[in-house]
Structure 1
Protein backbone atom coordinates (compact mmCIF):
# COMPACT_ATOMS: atom_id res chain seq x y z
CA UNK A 1 0.00 0.00 0.00
CA UNK A 2 1.43 3.38 -0.97
CA UNK A 3 1.84 6.09 1.62
CA UNK A 4 2.13 9.79 1.10
CA UNK A 5 5.31 11.58 2.07
CA UNK A 6 6.92 14.90 1.45
CA UNK A 7 8.51 14.91 -2.00
CA UNK A 8 12.24 15.54 -1.73
CA UNK A 9 13.93 18.19 -3.85
CA UNK A 10 17.67 17.80 -4.38
CA UNK A 11 19.40 21.05 -5.40
CA UNK A 12 22.70 20.90 -7.32
CA UNK A 13 24.85 23.99 -7.76
CA UNK A 14 27.18 24.73 -10.65
CA UNK A 15 30.74 25.93 -11.08
CA UNK A 16 31.93 28.75 -8.80
CA UNK A 17 28.90 28.48 -6.54
CA UNK A 18 28.68 27.28 -2.95
CA UNK A 19 25.71 25.02 -2.09
CA UNK A 20 24.38 27.80 0.15
CA UNK A 21 23.21 29.51 -3.06
CA UNK A 22 20.06 27.41 -2.69
CA UNK A 23 19.18 28.65 0.81
CA UNK A 24 16.31 30.89 -0.33
CA UNK A 25 15.03 28.30 -2.80
CA UNK A 26 15.02 25.67 -0.06
CA UNK A 27 12.99 27.92 2.21
CA UNK A 28 10.46 28.65 -0.56
CA UNK A 29 10.07 24.93 -1.32
CA UNK A 30 9.91 24.01 2.39
CA UNK A 31 7.08 26.48 2.92
CA UNK A 32 5.03 24.60 0.33
CA UNK A 33 5.65 21.22 1.95
CA UNK A 34 8.68 19.89 0.11
CA UNK A 35 11.62 18.31 1.88
CA UNK A 36 14.84 19.82 0.54
CA UNK A 37 18.55 19.13 0.51
CA UNK A 38 21.51 20.86 -1.13
CA UNK A 39 24.66 18.79 -0.64
CA UNK A 40 27.80 20.24 -2.16
CA UNK A 41 30.12 18.84 -4.78
CA UNK A 42 33.03 16.65 -3.64
CA UNK A 43 35.51 18.92 -1.90
CA UNK A 44 33.08 21.69 -1.04
CA UNK A 45 33.52 22.95 2.51
CA UNK A 46 30.63 23.88 4.79
CA UNK A 47 31.25 27.61 4.34
CA UNK A 48 32.27 29.91 1.49
CA UNK A 49 35.27 31.12 3.45
CA UNK A 50 36.62 27.64 4.11
CA UNK A 51 36.08 26.65 0.47
CA UNK A 52 38.14 29.64 -0.63
CA UNK A 53 40.91 28.75 1.80
CA UNK A 54 41.21 25.18 0.48
CA UNK A 55 40.84 25.19 -3.33
CA UNK A 56 42.98 22.05 -3.50
CA UNK A 57 40.06 20.08 -2.03
CA UNK A 58 37.80 21.25 -4.86
CA UNK A 59 40.29 20.70 -7.69
CA UNK A 60 40.32 17.76 -10.15
CA UNK A 61 36.75 16.54 -9.70
CA UNK A 62 35.09 15.64 -13.00
CA UNK A 63 31.52 15.27 -14.25
CA UNK A 64 31.29 11.52 -13.67
CA UNK A 65 32.66 11.77 -10.14
CA UNK A 66 30.25 14.58 -9.28
CA UNK A 67 27.30 12.70 -10.80
CA UNK A 68 28.23 9.54 -8.89
CA UNK A 69 28.48 11.60 -5.70
CA UNK A 70 24.85 12.70 -6.10
CA UNK A 71 23.78 9.20 -7.12
CA UNK A 72 25.07 7.96 -3.75
CA UNK A 73 23.11 10.71 -1.99
CA UNK A 74 19.96 9.61 -3.85
CA UNK A 75 20.60 5.96 -2.97
CA UNK A 76 20.08 6.83 0.70
CA UNK A 77 16.62 8.30 0.02
CA UNK A 78 13.36 6.35 0.18
CA UNK A 79 12.38 7.41 -3.34
CA UNK A 80 13.92 9.23 -6.32
CA UNK A 81 13.89 12.98 -5.68
CA UNK A 82 13.02 15.92 -7.87
CA UNK A 83 16.39 17.35 -8.95
CA UNK A 84 16.90 21.08 -9.55
CA UNK A 85 20.28 22.05 -10.97
CA UNK A 86 21.92 25.22 -12.23
CA UNK A 87 24.67 25.45 -14.86
CA UNK A 88 26.81 22.30 -14.53
CA UNK A 89 24.29 21.28 -11.90
CA UNK A 90 21.70 21.44 -14.67
CA UNK A 91 23.76 19.06 -16.78
CA UNK A 92 24.12 16.68 -13.83
CA UNK A 93 20.37 16.91 -13.19
CA UNK A 94 19.74 15.77 -16.77
CA UNK A 95 22.20 12.88 -16.38
CA UNK A 96 20.50 11.72 -13.17
CA UNK A 97 17.07 12.00 -14.80
CA UNK A 98 18.24 9.99 -17.80
CA UNK A 99 19.56 7.34 -15.40
CA UNK A 100 16.10 7.21 -13.78
CA UNK A 101 17.53 8.33 -10.46
CA UNK A 102 15.23 11.38 -10.35
CA UNK A 103 11.45 11.59 -10.57
CA UNK A 104 11.70 14.92 -12.43
CA UNK A 105 14.31 17.56 -13.17
CA UNK A 106 14.57 21.31 -13.56
CA UNK A 107 17.73 22.21 -15.50
CA UNK A 108 18.48 25.93 -15.28
CA UNK A 109 21.06 27.41 -17.68
CA UNK A 110 22.50 23.90 -18.11
CA UNK A 111 26.04 23.37 -19.34
CA UNK A 112 25.91 21.76 -22.75
CA UNK A 113 25.90 18.00 -23.01
CA UNK A 114 27.65 15.87 -25.62
CA UNK A 115 25.98 16.45 -28.97
CA UNK A 116 25.26 20.14 -28.45
CA UNK A 117 27.33 21.96 -31.05
CA UNK A 118 26.44 25.61 -30.43
CA UNK A 119 29.24 27.53 -28.71
CA UNK A 120 28.63 31.27 -29.19
CA UNK A 121 31.66 33.55 -29.05
CA UNK A 122 30.40 35.23 -25.89
CA UNK A 123 30.27 31.82 -24.20
CA UNK A 124 33.72 30.91 -25.43
CA UNK A 125 35.03 34.17 -24.00
CA UNK A 126 33.63 33.36 -20.56
CA UNK A 127 35.47 30.02 -20.31
CA UNK A 128 38.61 30.83 -22.30
CA UNK A 129 40.60 31.92 -19.21
CA UNK A 130 40.27 28.35 -17.93
CA UNK A 131 40.58 26.41 -21.19
CA UNK A 132 43.52 28.44 -22.51
CA UNK A 133 45.81 26.90 -19.89
CA UNK A 134 45.87 23.06 -19.97
CA UNK A 135 47.27 22.93 -16.44
CA UNK A 136 43.89 24.18 -15.21
CA UNK A 137 42.47 20.72 -15.94
CA UNK A 138 43.58 19.46 -12.54
CA UNK A 139 43.42 22.80 -10.72
CA UNK A 140 40.69 24.92 -9.18
CA UNK A 141 39.98 28.21 -10.91
CA UNK A 142 38.63 31.30 -9.15
CA UNK A 143 36.65 34.18 -10.61
CA UNK A 144 37.59 37.74 -9.76
CA UNK A 145 34.84 40.22 -8.99
CA UNK A 146 35.41 41.72 -12.44
CA UNK A 147 35.22 38.44 -14.36
CA UNK A 148 32.24 37.28 -12.31
CA UNK A 149 30.27 40.40 -13.22
CA UNK A 150 31.34 40.25 -16.87
CA UNK A 151 30.23 36.67 -17.49
CA UNK A 152 28.19 35.24 -14.64
CA UNK A 153 26.28 38.23 -13.30
CA UNK A 154 26.28 40.40 -16.43
CA UNK A 155 22.56 41.25 -16.34
CA UNK A 156 22.62 42.94 -12.93
CA UNK A 157 24.43 45.95 -11.46
CA UNK A 158 28.05 45.73 -10.40
CA UNK A 159 27.08 46.48 -6.81
CA UNK A 160 24.69 43.55 -6.69
CA UNK A 161 27.20 41.35 -8.50
CA UNK A 162 29.92 42.20 -5.99
CA UNK A 163 27.59 41.42 -3.09
CA UNK A 164 26.72 38.03 -4.59
CA UNK A 165 30.42 37.36 -5.18
CA UNK A 166 31.20 37.90 -1.51
CA UNK A 167 28.26 35.78 -0.39
CA UNK A 168 28.46 32.75 -2.68
CA UNK A 169 31.49 32.50 -5.00
CA UNK A 170 34.09 29.79 -4.42
CA UNK A 171 36.84 28.21 -6.57
CA UNK A 172 35.72 25.56 -9.05
CA UNK A 173 37.46 22.59 -10.65
CA UNK A 174 38.61 23.21 -14.21
CA UNK A 175 38.12 19.59 -15.22
CA UNK A 176 34.34 19.75 -15.97
CA UNK A 177 34.93 22.65 -18.38
CA UNK A 178 37.54 20.67 -20.30
CA UNK A 179 35.30 17.60 -20.34
CA UNK A 180 32.37 19.58 -21.72
CA UNK A 181 34.53 21.40 -24.27
CA UNK A 182 35.93 18.11 -25.60
CA UNK A 183 32.68 16.15 -25.32
CA UNK A 184 31.97 15.92 -29.03
CA UNK A 185 35.43 14.50 -29.66
CA UNK A 186 35.09 11.74 -27.07
CA UNK A 187 32.91 8.66 -27.70
CA UNK A 188 32.60 8.03 -23.96
CA UNK A 189 32.39 11.61 -22.74
CA UNK A 190 31.19 12.12 -19.15
CA UNK A 191 29.05 14.97 -20.54
CA UNK A 192 26.82 12.44 -22.30
CA UNK A 193 23.09 12.52 -21.46
CA UNK A 194 20.46 9.93 -22.38
CA UNK A 195 18.09 12.31 -24.15
CA UNK A 196 15.61 9.62 -25.17
CA UNK A 197 15.25 7.72 -21.90
CA UNK A 198 11.75 6.82 -20.74
CA UNK A 199 11.86 8.84 -17.53
CA UNK A 200 10.16 11.62 -15.57
CA UNK A 201 9.43 15.14 -16.84
CA UNK A 202 12.06 17.78 -17.58
CA UNK A 203 11.84 21.56 -17.43
CA UNK A 204 14.73 23.48 -18.99
CA UNK A 205 15.12 27.18 -18.19
CA UNK A 206 17.42 29.69 -19.88
CA UNK A 207 18.29 33.36 -19.64
CA UNK A 208 18.04 35.67 -22.65
CA UNK A 209 20.99 37.75 -21.43
CA UNK A 210 23.12 34.87 -20.19
CA UNK A 211 26.76 35.15 -21.25
CA UNK A 212 27.98 31.92 -19.60
CA UNK A 213 25.31 29.66 -21.15
CA UNK A 214 23.73 31.88 -23.83
CA UNK A 215 20.22 31.35 -25.13
CA UNK A 216 21.61 29.80 -28.33
CA UNK A 217 23.23 27.08 -26.24
CA UNK A 218 20.07 26.47 -24.22
CA UNK A 219 18.04 26.32 -27.45
CA UNK A 220 20.41 23.70 -28.85
CA UNK A 221 20.36 21.71 -25.62
CA UNK A 222 16.58 21.54 -25.58
CA UNK A 223 16.43 20.50 -29.25
CA UNK A 224 18.35 17.36 -28.29
CA UNK A 225 15.09 16.14 -26.71
CA UNK A 226 13.02 16.39 -29.89
CA UNK A 227 12.57 12.59 -30.06
CA UNK A 228 12.14 12.07 -26.33
CA UNK A 229 8.96 10.13 -25.42
CA UNK A 230 8.44 12.05 -22.18
CA UNK A 231 7.36 15.51 -21.01
CA UNK A 232 9.94 18.17 -21.85
CA UNK A 233 9.26 21.89 -21.47
CA UNK A 234 11.40 24.95 -22.12
CA UNK A 235 11.17 28.48 -20.74
CA UNK A 236 13.35 31.49 -21.51
CA UNK A 237 13.42 34.55 -19.25
CA UNK A 238 14.46 37.18 -21.78
CA UNK A 239 15.96 39.72 -19.36
CA UNK A 240 17.92 37.34 -17.15
CA UNK A 241 21.60 36.40 -16.98
CA UNK A 242 23.44 33.42 -15.53
CA UNK A 243 22.91 34.65 -11.96
CA UNK A 244 19.12 34.23 -12.29
CA UNK A 245 18.94 31.70 -9.42
CA UNK A 246 20.67 33.95 -6.87
CA UNK A 247 20.10 37.59 -7.83
CA UNK A 248 17.17 39.87 -6.97
CA UNK A 249 14.90 38.04 -9.44
CA UNK A 250 15.43 34.53 -8.07
CA UNK A 251 11.86 34.27 -6.77
CA UNK A 252 10.38 34.50 -10.29
CA UNK A 253 12.46 31.53 -11.41
CA UNK A 254 11.63 29.54 -8.27
CA UNK A 255 7.91 30.29 -8.57
CA UNK A 256 7.87 29.20 -12.21
CA UNK A 257 9.61 25.95 -11.26
CA UNK A 258 7.14 25.34 -8.44
CA UNK A 259 4.15 25.99 -10.70
CA UNK A 260 5.56 23.60 -13.31
CA UNK A 261 6.03 20.86 -10.71
CA UNK A 262 2.45 21.38 -9.61
CA UNK A 263 1.28 20.99 -13.22
CA UNK A 264 3.13 17.67 -13.38
CA UNK A 265 1.30 16.45 -10.28
CA UNK A 266 4.52 16.48 -8.24
CA UNK A 267 3.73 19.05 -5.58
CA UNK A 268 2.94 18.02 -1.98
CA UNK A 269 -0.69 19.08 -2.46
CA UNK A 270 -1.02 16.47 -5.23
CA UNK A 271 -0.36 13.59 -2.86
CA UNK A 272 3.23 12.54 -3.53
CA UNK A 273 3.53 8.77 -3.25
CA UNK A 274 6.54 6.84 -2.01
CA UNK A 275 5.43 3.91 -4.12
CA UNK A 276 6.28 5.45 -7.47
CA UNK A 277 9.06 7.78 -6.43
CA UNK A 278 7.10 10.97 -6.92
CA UNK A 279 5.35 10.56 -10.22
CA UNK A 280 6.23 10.20 -13.84
CA UNK A 281 5.46 11.97 -17.05
CA UNK A 282 1.89 11.66 -18.32
Structure 2
Protein backbone atom coordinates (compact mmCIF):
# COMPACT_ATOMS: atom_id res chain seq x y z
CA UNK A 1 0.00 0.00 0.00
CA UNK A 2 2.90 2.35 -0.57
CA UNK A 3 4.25 2.02 2.97
CA UNK A 4 7.55 0.51 4.07
CA UNK A 5 6.95 -2.13 6.77
CA UNK A 6 9.99 -3.50 8.64
CA UNK A 7 9.70 -5.94 11.53
CA UNK A 8 12.36 -7.17 13.94
CA UNK A 9 11.73 -10.19 16.17
CA UNK A 10 13.91 -11.66 18.90
CA UNK A 11 15.01 -11.06 22.48
CA UNK A 12 13.96 -7.60 23.66
CA UNK A 13 17.42 -6.38 24.65
CA UNK A 14 18.60 -7.14 21.08
CA UNK A 15 15.53 -6.10 19.10
CA UNK A 16 15.22 -2.71 20.79
CA UNK A 17 18.67 -1.72 19.53
CA UNK A 18 17.69 -2.23 15.87
CA UNK A 19 15.40 0.83 15.79
CA UNK A 20 18.09 3.48 15.39
CA UNK A 21 20.27 1.89 12.66
CA UNK A 22 17.25 0.64 10.69
CA UNK A 23 15.61 4.06 10.57
CA UNK A 24 18.92 5.76 9.78
CA UNK A 25 19.39 3.41 6.81
CA UNK A 26 15.82 3.96 5.59
CA UNK A 27 16.25 7.73 5.78
CA UNK A 28 19.59 7.83 3.97
CA UNK A 29 18.46 5.43 1.23
CA UNK A 30 15.32 7.48 0.64
CA UNK A 31 17.31 10.64 -0.06
CA UNK A 32 19.67 8.74 -2.35
CA UNK A 33 16.63 7.32 -4.17
CA UNK A 34 15.11 10.74 -4.85
CA UNK A 35 18.49 12.23 -5.78
CA UNK A 36 18.62 14.80 -2.97
CA UNK A 37 21.97 16.32 -2.03
CA UNK A 38 22.94 18.54 0.91
CA UNK A 39 23.74 22.20 0.43
CA UNK A 40 26.97 22.19 2.43
CA UNK A 41 27.14 25.99 2.62
CA UNK A 42 23.69 25.96 4.24
CA UNK A 43 24.66 23.12 6.61
CA UNK A 44 27.80 24.95 7.78
CA UNK A 45 26.03 28.27 8.27
CA UNK A 46 22.89 27.13 10.09
CA UNK A 47 24.69 24.57 12.27
CA UNK A 48 27.23 27.11 13.53
CA UNK A 49 24.40 29.56 14.18
CA UNK A 50 22.47 26.95 16.17
CA UNK A 51 25.51 26.02 18.23
CA UNK A 52 26.27 29.66 18.98
CA UNK A 53 22.66 30.29 20.02
CA UNK A 54 22.78 27.44 22.54
CA UNK A 55 26.16 28.59 23.87
CA UNK A 56 25.04 32.22 24.18
CA UNK A 57 22.04 31.15 26.27
CA UNK A 58 24.07 28.59 28.27
CA UNK A 59 21.62 25.89 27.19
CA UNK A 60 23.00 22.36 27.60
CA UNK A 61 22.05 19.85 24.91
CA UNK A 62 22.83 16.51 23.31
CA UNK A 63 22.53 15.41 19.69
CA UNK A 64 19.69 12.88 19.27
CA UNK A 65 19.69 12.93 15.47
CA UNK A 66 20.75 9.55 14.10
CA UNK A 67 17.34 8.04 13.32
CA UNK A 68 16.09 10.66 10.86
CA UNK A 69 19.39 12.08 9.63
CA UNK A 70 19.92 13.00 6.00
CA UNK A 71 23.05 10.85 5.91
CA UNK A 72 25.95 9.65 8.03
CA UNK A 73 28.15 12.25 6.34
CA UNK A 74 25.80 15.05 7.40
CA UNK A 75 25.52 13.84 11.00
CA UNK A 76 29.31 13.49 11.23
CA UNK A 77 29.89 17.04 9.95
CA UNK A 78 27.11 18.52 12.10
CA UNK A 79 28.58 16.86 15.19
CA UNK A 80 31.98 18.39 14.45
CA UNK A 81 30.48 21.84 13.82
CA UNK A 82 28.42 21.79 17.01
CA UNK A 83 31.45 20.74 19.05
CA UNK A 84 33.27 23.80 17.70
CA UNK A 85 30.43 26.33 17.96
CA UNK A 86 28.59 25.26 21.13
CA UNK A 87 31.60 24.49 23.31
CA UNK A 88 30.79 23.07 26.73
CA UNK A 89 27.05 23.44 26.12
CA UNK A 90 27.23 20.33 23.92
CA UNK A 91 26.84 17.58 26.53
CA UNK A 92 27.13 14.62 24.18
CA UNK A 93 25.54 12.54 21.42
CA UNK A 94 23.43 9.39 21.31
CA UNK A 95 25.54 8.09 18.40
CA UNK A 96 28.14 5.90 20.09
CA UNK A 97 30.49 5.82 17.10
CA UNK A 98 30.48 9.60 16.68
CA UNK A 99 30.89 10.08 20.43
CA UNK A 100 34.08 8.01 20.19
CA UNK A 101 35.27 9.76 17.01
CA UNK A 102 34.72 13.31 18.30
CA UNK A 103 35.61 12.77 21.95
CA UNK A 104 32.10 13.35 23.29
CA UNK A 105 30.00 11.73 26.01
CA UNK A 106 27.52 9.05 25.01
CA UNK A 107 24.17 10.53 25.99
CA UNK A 108 20.71 9.01 25.79
CA UNK A 109 17.75 7.53 27.65
CA UNK A 110 15.83 4.30 27.64
CA UNK A 111 13.11 4.00 24.95
CA UNK A 112 9.34 3.71 25.26
CA UNK A 113 9.72 -0.01 24.48
CA UNK A 114 11.11 -0.60 27.98
CA UNK A 115 7.91 0.59 29.63
CA UNK A 116 5.64 -0.84 26.92
CA UNK A 117 7.01 -4.30 27.72
CA UNK A 118 6.32 -3.87 31.41
CA UNK A 119 2.79 -2.68 30.67
CA UNK A 120 2.03 -5.73 28.56
CA UNK A 121 3.48 -8.21 31.06
CA UNK A 122 2.78 -6.64 34.48
CA UNK A 123 -0.30 -4.52 33.73
CA UNK A 124 -0.77 -0.88 32.84
CA UNK A 125 -1.30 0.39 36.38
CA UNK A 126 2.08 -0.97 37.51
CA UNK A 127 4.04 -0.54 34.27
CA UNK A 128 5.94 2.65 35.13
CA UNK A 129 6.63 1.55 38.69
CA UNK A 130 7.99 -1.90 37.83
CA UNK A 131 9.96 -0.51 34.87
CA UNK A 132 11.65 2.05 37.13
CA UNK A 133 12.38 -0.59 39.78
CA UNK A 134 13.94 -2.97 37.25
CA UNK A 135 16.07 -0.15 35.80
CA UNK A 136 17.31 0.78 39.26
CA UNK A 137 18.11 -2.86 40.06
CA UNK A 138 20.32 -3.10 36.97
CA UNK A 139 21.99 0.33 36.88
CA UNK A 140 22.02 1.19 40.59
CA UNK A 141 21.34 4.89 40.07
CA UNK A 142 23.37 5.38 36.88
CA UNK A 143 21.63 6.25 33.57
CA UNK A 144 19.16 8.18 35.66
CA UNK A 145 16.73 9.65 33.13
CA UNK A 146 13.21 8.24 32.99
CA UNK A 147 10.60 8.62 30.22
CA UNK A 148 7.24 9.87 31.44
CA UNK A 149 4.75 9.67 28.58
CA UNK A 150 4.41 5.98 27.63
CA UNK A 151 0.98 5.89 29.30
CA UNK A 152 0.59 9.69 29.71
CA UNK A 153 2.42 11.89 32.16
CA UNK A 154 -0.48 12.02 34.64
CA UNK A 155 -0.38 8.23 35.04
CA UNK A 156 3.42 8.32 35.38
CA UNK A 157 3.32 10.89 38.16
CA UNK A 158 1.02 8.63 40.19
CA UNK A 159 3.72 5.91 40.00
CA UNK A 160 6.63 8.29 40.67
CA UNK A 161 7.54 7.75 44.34
CA UNK A 162 9.91 9.50 46.74
CA UNK A 163 12.45 6.75 46.12
CA UNK A 164 12.31 7.29 42.37
CA UNK A 165 12.41 11.06 42.73
CA UNK A 166 15.63 10.74 44.72
CA UNK A 167 17.36 8.12 42.56
CA UNK A 168 16.50 9.43 39.09
CA UNK A 169 18.38 12.58 38.09
CA UNK A 170 15.94 13.70 35.42
CA UNK A 171 12.57 13.28 33.74
CA UNK A 172 12.33 13.16 29.95
CA UNK A 173 9.58 15.18 28.25
CA UNK A 174 8.72 13.74 24.82
CA UNK A 175 5.15 14.87 24.04
CA UNK A 176 2.60 17.50 25.00
CA UNK A 177 2.89 21.10 26.16
CA UNK A 178 6.29 21.70 27.84
CA UNK A 179 4.87 24.47 30.06
CA UNK A 180 2.20 22.13 31.42
CA UNK A 181 4.82 19.42 31.93
CA UNK A 182 7.10 21.78 33.88
CA UNK A 183 4.24 22.61 36.25
CA UNK A 184 3.39 18.93 36.77
CA UNK A 185 7.01 17.94 37.39
CA UNK A 186 7.72 20.74 39.86
CA UNK A 187 4.46 20.07 41.70
CA UNK A 188 5.18 16.34 42.01
CA UNK A 189 8.71 16.91 43.32
CA UNK A 190 7.35 19.35 45.89
CA UNK A 191 4.64 16.86 46.93
CA UNK A 192 7.39 14.31 47.53
CA UNK A 193 9.49 16.87 49.47
CA UNK A 194 12.29 16.77 46.90
CA UNK A 195 13.80 20.09 45.82
CA UNK A 196 13.04 20.42 42.05
CA UNK A 197 15.94 22.85 41.69
CA UNK A 198 18.40 19.96 41.96
CA UNK A 199 16.60 17.92 39.27
CA UNK A 200 16.49 18.14 35.48
CA UNK A 201 13.92 17.84 32.74
CA UNK A 202 15.36 16.52 29.48
CA UNK A 203 13.20 17.96 26.68
CA UNK A 204 13.25 16.01 23.40
CA UNK A 205 9.95 16.61 21.57
CA UNK A 206 10.61 17.94 18.06
CA UNK A 207 13.00 20.62 19.27
CA UNK A 208 14.95 23.36 17.56
CA UNK A 209 17.50 25.53 19.37
CA UNK A 210 14.99 28.41 19.34
CA UNK A 211 12.35 26.24 21.03
CA UNK A 212 14.94 25.02 23.53
CA UNK A 213 15.85 28.56 24.54
CA UNK A 214 12.16 29.42 25.03
CA UNK A 215 11.65 26.31 27.18
CA UNK A 216 14.73 27.10 29.27
CA UNK A 217 13.20 30.48 30.05
CA UNK A 218 9.95 28.76 31.07
CA UNK A 219 11.90 26.61 33.54
CA UNK A 220 13.64 29.66 34.98
CA UNK A 221 14.98 28.86 38.44
CA UNK A 222 12.21 26.34 39.20
CA UNK A 223 13.93 23.26 37.75
CA UNK A 224 16.99 22.62 35.58
CA UNK A 225 16.64 21.96 31.85
CA UNK A 226 18.64 20.11 29.23
CA UNK A 227 17.74 19.23 25.66
CA UNK A 228 17.93 16.36 23.20
CA UNK A 229 17.76 17.88 19.72
CA UNK A 230 17.72 15.54 16.76
CA UNK A 231 16.29 16.01 13.29
CA UNK A 232 16.66 19.79 13.36
CA UNK A 233 20.43 19.27 13.54
CA UNK A 234 20.96 16.26 11.28
CA UNK A 235 18.40 16.87 8.53
CA UNK A 236 18.51 20.62 7.93
CA UNK A 237 20.37 20.53 4.62
CA UNK A 238 18.56 23.17 2.54
CA UNK A 239 17.17 22.70 -0.94
CA UNK A 240 13.64 22.06 0.27
CA UNK A 241 14.52 18.64 1.72
CA UNK A 242 11.93 17.50 4.30
CA UNK A 243 12.66 14.96 7.07
CA UNK A 244 10.78 11.66 6.98
CA UNK A 245 8.14 10.86 9.61
CA UNK A 246 9.34 7.34 10.46
CA UNK A 247 9.24 5.41 13.73
CA UNK A 248 9.56 1.91 15.18
CA UNK A 249 7.71 0.88 18.34
CA UNK A 250 7.23 -2.32 20.30
CA UNK A 251 4.16 -4.06 18.85
CA UNK A 252 3.94 -7.42 20.63
CA UNK A 253 5.89 -9.25 23.33
CA UNK A 254 5.89 -12.42 25.44
CA UNK A 255 7.96 -13.70 28.35
CA UNK A 256 8.96 -17.07 26.85
CA UNK A 257 8.78 -18.72 23.44
CA UNK A 258 5.86 -20.88 24.59
CA UNK A 259 3.69 -17.97 25.79
CA UNK A 260 1.01 -16.20 23.79
CA UNK A 261 1.81 -12.80 22.32
CA UNK A 262 0.69 -9.70 24.25
CA UNK A 263 -0.16 -6.47 22.44
CA UNK A 264 2.03 -3.47 23.34
CA UNK A 265 0.65 0.08 23.15
CA UNK A 266 1.78 3.64 23.78
CA UNK A 267 -0.58 6.37 24.98
CA UNK A 268 0.76 9.79 24.03
CA UNK A 269 0.15 13.02 25.93
CA UNK A 270 -1.13 14.30 22.57
CA UNK A 271 -4.60 13.08 21.65
CA UNK A 272 -4.79 10.96 18.51
CA UNK A 273 -1.12 9.91 18.62
CA UNK A 274 -1.57 6.61 20.46
CA UNK A 275 0.11 3.60 18.82
CA UNK A 276 -0.80 -0.07 18.88
CA UNK A 277 -3.82 -2.33 18.49
CA UNK A 278 -7.01 -0.20 18.77
CA UNK A 279 -8.76 -2.65 21.13
CA UNK A 280 -5.71 -2.82 23.38
CA UNK A 281 -5.45 0.97 23.39
CA UNK A 282 -9.09 1.16 24.52
CA UNK A 283 -8.42 -1.44 27.25
CA UNK A 284 -5.35 0.46 28.50
CA UNK A 285 -7.24 3.75 28.59
CA UNK A 286 -10.14 2.18 30.48
CA UNK A 287 -7.77 0.50 32.94
CA UNK A 288 -5.93 3.76 33.61
CA UNK A 289 -9.07 5.89 33.77
CA UNK A 290 -8.13 7.95 30.72
CA UNK A 291 -11.08 9.47 28.86
CA UNK A 292 -11.52 8.43 25.24
CA UNK A 293 -11.08 11.25 22.74
TM-score exceeds 0.5: no
TM-score (normalised: structure 1): 0.30
TM-score between the two structures when normalised by the length of structure 2: 0.29
